[in-house]
Structure 1
Amino acid sequence: MSSPLVYLYVPGDRPERFGKATTSGTDAVVLDLEDAVPVAAKDSARIAVGTWLEKRDRAGVPTWVRVNPGAELLDDLTMAVRCGADGIWLPKCDDRATLDRVDRMLTDLEAAEGRPRTPVSPLIETGAGLVNAPAIASGPRVEFVQIGEVDLAADLGVSAVVGDELLWARSHVVAASAAARIRPPLAAASPVIDDPASFETETRQLTGLGFFGRACIHPRQIVSARSGLAPTAAEVDAALDVLAAFDAAGLGAATDSAGRLIDEAVARIARRTLARRF
């Protein structure tokens, strides 16, 4: 697996959960300083996250930090860079200018702290962000884009997300990511914790729409996320068949064992299918 697929949120004011999260089976951890933390606990959460980041086993799973977009932004970024976070989740990102500003802040912080370049994943959570998705996806440091679906639904005035209410938004962000030539977007977190079959089905549907990976808010979602992300045995066999025929043809046009035409686009789909294996 070349890229993490499952990202597990952990509230930044619950340090007793940080270490447990890294051994939960997730591919990456997201220590959340934003929505999961009450206003009164922002400062103490930042200290707890920084303390843990400095002491963690860096050979373990990658750990990102979701920062606050407002007055706490600089303090959050300073802590994240100084303490060695593997990346930044940037909520409420409405435009390219926000990414440019964060890029300048991170560049200064990395130079001061002697840290490597920090990737960013912006969350699109408003109508403005959605309209500006192509510019956001092509912004500096952007590794992949996400949708904050509950916030976006509230801003758009659509009903609770139970079906296709956000279908256009999802497809728009997938297309924006493809146009920017970045990794496909990460499928959004869901409040569904105790219905694994529903969570797995939704994850598989989002994968079919072009998303790559899933954010989870509880360890109980991880197994269902993996099941929904993973290709079936038949899909794996078909992908291997496609790539074997394509390679045998010298990466030119070929046919698979069923006589179907294979070109580079078909091979790309097959590679992406295999990238979802665990």
Structure 2
Amino acid sequence: MSSLLSRSFLFVPANRPERFDKAVASGAHQVILDLEDAVAPADKAAARRSVMEWSGRADAIVRVNGADSTFFAADMEMIRSAGVTRLMLPKSEPAALNRLVGSLDGPCRIIALIETVKGYAELRSIGKSGLVAQLAFGNLDFGIDSGVTETAQELDPVRLQIVLESRLAGLAPPIDGVTTSWADPVAFGAAVGRARALGFGAKLCIHPAQVKLVNEAFLPTTDELDWARRVMAAAEGGGGAAVALDGKMIDAPVIRRAEQILGSIGAT
């Protein structure tokens, strides 16, 4: 994970234009203008107009409605007219992705939101399709579709598979799903830490209060940075020979891990 990669993705209802600039100012690395779940059917048209009229739309991601929904065609007409080039597709499955791409008139960075059991079963074909830049986990909808109630770590096997398939396809580290509570920073921090440990590189946020915690949690700790620097110094001092640090052998995987940690903050 590079420090240049986005770690926090903040949803904003697309029918609340007064919040758009506030979301940008929150410190979120990416702002997602949401046309889907956050917007009632009666407000969809107004939400599209708000996206179209916002001067910052070129730097935002737009989550459109599902490819099988009655709102999708109008969403894509707005996307083309507004020149939006960064999209999030809910309930991503191969057919939905193909319909999305077929509705575009130019290159677009697509985040595929995995929210269904069918999408999970097709992870490999989605990841290797050449159509998506990144995967994200829609844990709430996935729990409903799968019948699994997530009270703790019940969906972590799904998370791990999304991480592995992202790696196999050469995609950026995936984005973990939302945590609905922001009033308990300890519980939220634990959820973010677990996502990072599983190999995620970012997290979806639903409230500005979550942004700072996410941005900090996906960075290496002071102890990790100290360890990585000592590993690199020991390896350099060994001149290519096997060396030990803290009673442990330093080999190629250890050096690679240290390089990744230092690379995540742009260190050399």
TM-score (norm 1): 0.85
2:91 is matched by which residue type in structure 1?
K
Q: 8 Å contact 1:200–1:227 — kept in the other structure?
A: no
- Between stretches 186-195 and 72-81, larger displacement belongs to 72-81
Partner residue of 1:113?
none
CA contact under 8 A between 1:144 and 1:177: conserved in structure 2?
A: yes
Q: Distance in 1 between matches of 2:249 and 2:143?
A: 41
Kindly provide the amino acid, as one letter, of the partner of residue 182 in structure 1: L
Q: Secondary structure at the match of 1:145?
A: strand
The corresponding residue for 2:98 is 100
**1:231–1:276 CA contact under 8 A, matched in 2:** yes
Matched to 2:56, the amino acid is R
The size of the alignment, in residue pairs, is 261
Task: Indicate the residue corresponding to 2:6 in structure 1.
Answer: 4
Name the structure 2 match of 1:33: 35
For residue 227 of structure 1, the aligned residue among 213, 216, 225 is 216
Instruction: Tell me which residue corresponds to 1:72.
Output: 71
Whether the 8 Å contact between 1:2 and 1:275 is mirrored in structure 2 is: no
**Alignment match, 1:87:** 86
- Answer yes or no: is the 8 Å Cα contact 2:231–2:250 preserved in 1: no
Mapped to 2, the partners of 1:247 and 1:190 lie a distance apart of: 42
CA positional deviation for 1:178: 1.1
Name the aligned partner's letter for residue 188 of structure 2: F
Deviation by residue 1:232-258 (Cα, 9 ceiling, x = unmatched): 1010122233345556778x6754643
Could you say what secondary structure the match of 2:31 adopts?
strand
| Alignment correspondent of 1:218 | 207
Alignment match, 2:144: 154
1:266 aligns with 2:264: no
1:120 maps to 2:110: yes
**1:205 paired residue number:** 194
- Gapped regions of structure 1 (runs ≥ 5): 111-116
Aligned sequence identity (%): 33
Residue pair 1:193, 1:220 contacting (<8 A) in 2 also: yes
Cα distance in 2 for residues equivalent to 1:152 and 1:105 = 26
1:276/1:8 CA distance change after superposition, 3 Å: farther
Secondary structure, in 3 states, of the residue corresponding to 1:30? strand
Comparing 205-214 and 220-229, the one that deviates more: 220-229
Distance 1:18 1:255 in 2: 53
Distance 1:46 1:255, change over 3 A: farther
Name which structure has the greater RCO, CA cutoff 8 Å, separation 6+. Answer: 2
Change (3 A) 1:120 1:248: farther
Alpha-carbon displacement from aligned partner over 1:81-114 (angstroms, at most 9, x marks no partner)? 43243410000112x23223322322xx22xxxx
Helix, strand or coil at the partner of 2:51: helix
- Counterpart AA for 1:141: L
Q: 1:228: Cα distance to partner?
A: 2.2
The answer as to whether partners of 1:202 and 1:228 remain within 8 angstroms in 2 is no
**Can you give the 5+ residue segments of structure 2 that lack an aligned partner in the other structure?**
none
1:229–1:276: 8 Å Cα contact kept in structure 2?
no
